[in-house]
Structure 1
Amino acid sequence: MEPRTSLLLYLSSLLLFHFIDAQCVDGDIKRRMFPAEVQPTSCNTDVIIREICEHTKNPDVCISSISPYLPNIGDVDATTILGLQIKACTNYTNVAISAVEQMVKDPKTPPLMMGCLKVCRESYGNALNDLQSAVKAIEAHDSGTLNSMLSAVLTDIGTCEDAFTERPGLKSPMASQDNMLSKLASNCLAIAALIK
C-alpha cells in the first residue's frame, strides 16, 4: 500500500472515530477534550440514566438531582439510580429540616405557624427514617418493604402540607420544598418499580 493511501486511510479513520465519539456525547465535543478520569459518565451510562429517569413523572428532576453523585459511581442500573435518588431525597429533606429549624428559632414566627412547623419537623424526621429503611430494604432485596417505606415518605411530606391547609388563611412557607420532596419521592417509587 502506498504511503499516501495509508495516510489517507489513517486520517479518515481518525475523523470517523472522532465523529462517532462526539455524537455519543450529544455533540458536546468540549467534553472529549478532558481526560477520562475527569469525566464522570460514559455515553452508555448517560443513556441508561436517561432511560431510567424517563420512567418517572419528573425525569428532569431525576437527572439533575442525581448528577452531583455520578462521579463516584461505576456501572449503573435501576438499583444504582434508585440509591442516588434516595440520597438526593435524603439531602433535600435535611435542607428542609434546616429551613424549618431557622423559622422555629425566629422570634418573629407567629405562634399558629409554629405549631405547623413543628409538625413539619417531625414529618421530615419520619421521612429520613423511612428513607434509611428504604436503603436497607434495597440491600435486603425486599421490594415490599422498599415500596412501603417510599410510600411513607410521600405521606410524611403530605403531612407537613396538611398541617398548613388545616389552618385557614395560613400559607405554607415549606410549599416549594414539599413540592420538590414529593417529586423526588415519587421518582424513587417509579424507579423502585423497575427493580426486579
Structure 2
Amino acid sequence: MASTMSSIRSSFSLLILFIIFFLSFNATTSFNHLIQETCKKSSESDPNISLNFCISSLESDPRSHSVTSLTNLGLISMNLIRTNVSESRVYIEHLLKKTKKKKNTKGSKDRYIREYLKDCLELYSDAITTLEEAIGDYKRKRYVDSNVKVSSVLDASSTCEDGFEEKRGVVSPLTKRNNDTFQLSAIALSIIEMVRQ
C-alpha cells in the first residue's frame, strides 16, 4: 500500500511538472510570437527598421516576456526609447565634461565636437519631456498626438547626428546611440500605427 501511494505521488509530481513546463512553454511561445510578428510587419513596412534589432530590443525588456497585447507592446517600445534617450543624455553630459578638460585651441575639432554635443544635449533633454507626453497620450489612446511626439524624437536623433557631419573631419561620438534612438522610435511609430488600425 505504501508502494502504491509513493507511485501515485510520483506520478502526480510528474504531472504537475509537465503542466508547469507546458504552460511556461506556451507563455514564452505566445510572447515571442507577438514580438516576432510585430517586428516582421514593422521591418517589412519600414526599411529603417531592422528585424533583428526590433526583436532583440523588444525582448530585452523583461516586461515583454508576459505581454499579450499589441497595445502593451507599444508601451514597452516607448519605454525603451525613454531609457535610451535618458542614458544617451547622461553619456553626452559625460562627454561634455571630458572635452571641457581639454584645452581647446582655435579651429580644433574638439571645439566643434563640443558645440555639437551641446546641441545634442538640448535635443535629448527636450526628447525626454516629449516622450513623457507621448506615453501619456498613448495611454489615453490619443495615438495621433503620440505619433507626432515620437516622430519629433526620431527627428532629434537625426538632427543630432547631422550636426557632426557639417564639419569635415569631425566624427560623431553618438552615431550608435543616435541610430538606436532612430530605430526604436521607428519601431514605436510602426506599433502606434498598427494599434490605430
Given the two structures, how large is their TM-score scaled by the length of structure 2? 0.74
Gaps of 5+ in 2: 1-13, 43-48, 105-109
Give the equivalent residue in structure 1 for 2:35: 49
Q: Describe the superposition over 1:46-105 as per-residue Cα deviations: whole angstroms up to 9, x where unpaired.
A: 211211121222232222222233347644222111111111111111221122111100
Q: Report the Cα distance in structure 2 between the residues aligned to 1:74 and 1:160, rounded to whole angstroms.
A: 35
Q: Report the Cα distance in structure 1 between the residues aligned to 2:157 and 2:27, rounded to whole angstroms.
A: 32
Q: Describe the superposition over 1:119-160 as per-residue Cα deviations: whole angstroms up to 9, x where unpaired.
A: 111111122122111111111111210110111011111121
Identity of aligned pairs, percent? 22
Q: Report the Cα distance in structure 2 between the residues aligned to 1:71 and 1:102, rounded to whole angstroms.
A: 29
Q: Report the Cα distance in structure 2 between the residues aligned to 1:123 and 1:171, rounded to whole angstroms.
A: 18
Task: Choose the corresponding residue for 1:100, options 92, 105, 124.
Answer: 92
The 5 Å alignment of 1:151-170 reads: 151-170=151-170
The 5 Å alignment of 1:1-196 reads: 32=21, 36=24, 41-56=27-42, 57-71=49-63, 74-106=66-98, 107-108=101-102, 110-196=110-196
CA contact (8 A) 2:151 2:189 kept: yes
Query: How many Å apart are 1:41 and its aligned residue?
Result: 4.1
The change in CA–CA distance for 1:157 and 1:67 in structure 2 (over 3 A counts) is: same
Q: Report the Cα distance in structure 2 between the residues aligned to 1:121 and 1:194, rounded to whole angstroms.
A: 32
Query: How many Å apart are 1:112 and its aligned residue?
Result: 1.8
Q: Report the Cα distance in structure 2 between the residues aligned to 1:75 and 1:113, rounded to whole angstroms.
A: 41
Which shows bigger deviation, 57-66 or 163-172? 57-66
The change in CA–CA distance for 1:111 and 1:141 in structure 2 (over 3 A counts) is: same
CA contact (8 A) 2:31 2:65 kept: no
CA contact (8 A) 1:127 1:157 kept: no
- Structure 1 vs Structure 2 CA RMSD: 2.8
Instruction: State the aligned residue count.
Output: 167
* Code of the aligned partner of 1:97: R
Gaps of 5+ in 1: 1-13, 22-31
SS at match of 1:76: coil
